[in-house]
Amino acid sequence: MSGRALVCTRLGGPEDLELADVATPEPGPGEVVVAVSHVGLNFHDTLIIAGTHVVKPEPVFSPGSEYAGTVAAVGEGVLSVRPGDRVAGNEEFGCARDAVVVRADRVSLLPAHVTDRQAAAILVAYSTAYHALVQRAGLRAGETLAVLGAAGGVGSAAVDVGRLLGARVIAGASTPERAEAARRHGAHATFSYDDPRDAKTTIKELTGGEGADVVFDPVGGAVAESAVRAVAWGGRYLVVGFASGGIPRVALNIPLVKGASVVGVFWGEFVRRDRAAQERNLHEIFDWAGAGRLRHHIHDVLPLEEGPRALRELADGRVRGKLLLRAGGPAG
Ligand SMILES: NC(=O)c1ccc[n+]([C@@H]2O[C@H](COP(=O)([O-])OP(=O)(O)OC[C@H]3O[C@@H](n4cnc5c(N)ncnc54)[C@H](OP(=O)(O)O)[C@@H]3O)[C@@H](O)[C@H]2O)c1
């Protein structure tokens, strides 16, 4: 079996990626071959191909860290899935191709009410947001959640999940237009931080001076250094990512005087250590999807060969919601 693959033959920008025909190996013991229909792209894919992410594969490799498709073949000893099952999964990289060979214990069965397209659009972003808000922050109904980067992938998912968990969600983005896009995901109020240093004042104003019980921050940089000062008494500041490129410095007197916590979120490691908990999280996310309660937004679905253009849009911050690639597998 062979298929197309988007490949990074040398570290660099999206334009350095190539489309190649590659052979699909037979699955080894405990492995499955999945005919990929949709690949979900994420900001970190742009960092991995540039060699600036903590995950540093050696070229040649494929970018793309989440996919949905149909099991085409199973290796020796695999009982959890069968050929024909629809599944989704995530890997650190390697998914932007017509077929992937992955460990069977890393794929999740898709219920009939969730399409491949939906699954590839929500798996990483919604699982990250859910893990951050439920396991790491312990967000409770009625609490106030401030989301930075709320028009982006994990940010918009955090707005949606926060709303579904019963929080009052205030959504921040770099421009008023991008902040307004977060309203679609159910934000109760929005704000923009044209000047990142204003984030503290604005969040305080929107919370009657109290500050936010939970801040979800995938942006980092100057906006983080301001927003961390807008955490309420007993609040939790979730460190999710540094999409702005800057790792913020936070003075430790801030959590002290607020009785607050600065909480790290590392979803990939959480999944590695507690797969069963991730499956439970995903179950609830898929239930919401099946009941039509998610408000995720698909920015675009481009053919696999348009991968370089898609990753350029992500790198330049032009994507609102999720950008998908359509690979060659049948779409369920
Ligand atoms: N901790 C974890 O487990 C985990 C899991 C998944 C992702 N992440 C991380 O979360 C971050 C976001 O990922 P994503 O997939 O949501 O990316 P994304 O869709 O590109 O969204 C990133 C957001 O960051 C903001 N941003 C980007 N560059 C900026 C800049 N120079 N200044 C200010 N804001 C900027 C943008 O906000 P605006 O819309 O306001 O412009 C954008 O919407 C990444 O760093 C990623 O690695 C972490």
| DSSP letter for each residue of 229-273 | GGEEEEEEEEE---TTS------THHHHHHT-EEEE--HHHHHHH
Q: What is the pLDDT of residue 246?
A: 84
Task: Check if the beta carbon of residue 161 is closer than 8 Å to that of residue 126.
Answer: yes
Domain span(s) for CATH 3.40.50.720 in the chain: 126-267
Q: Which two tokens stand for residue 19?
A: 């489309």
Q: What is the pLDDT of residue 52?
A: 92
Task: Check if the beta carbon of residue 254 is closer than 8 Å to that of residue 237.
Answer: no
Ligand 1 atom closest to the Cα of residue 53 is 47
Q: What percent of the chain has pLDDT over 90?
A: 87
Partners of 103 in the β-ladder: 31
The sign one gets for the Cα dihedral 137, 168, 244, 252 is negative
Centre of ligand 1 from the C-alpha of residue 208, in Å: 27
Q: What is the pLDDT of residue 321?
A: 80
Fold of 126-267: Rossmann fold (3.40.50)
Q: What is the pLDDT of residue 32?
A: 98
Q: Does domain 2-110+297-326 correspond to CATH entry 3.90.180.10?
A: yes
Q: What torsion do the CA atoms of 286, 289, 295, 300 make, to the nearest 10 degrees? A: 90
Q: What is the pLDDT of residue 83?
A: 97
| List of residues 6+ apart from 205 with CB closer than 8 A | none
| Number of Cβ atoms within 10 Å of the Cβ of 82 | 10
Instruction: End-to-end CA distance of the chain: give it in Å, rounded.
Output: 21
Burial of 314 (0-12, 13-18, 19+ CB in 10 A): buried
pTM exceeds 0.85 for this model: yes
Centre of ligand 1 from the C-alpha of residue 330, in Å: 31
Domain span(s) for CATH 3.90.180.10 in the chain: 2-110+297-326
Mean pLDDT, 10 residues at a time, the chain of 332 residues: 93 96 93 98 94 94 97 97 97 97 96 96 96 98 97 92 97 91 89 87 96 97 96 98 90 97 96 95 96 92 97 90 93 86
Centre of ligand 1 from the C-alpha of residue 276, in Å: 27
Measured from the CB, is residue 178 less than 6 Å from ligand 1? yes
In angstroms, the CA 222 to CA 60 distance is 35
Task: Report which protein residue has its CA nearest ligand 1's atom 41.
Answer: 174
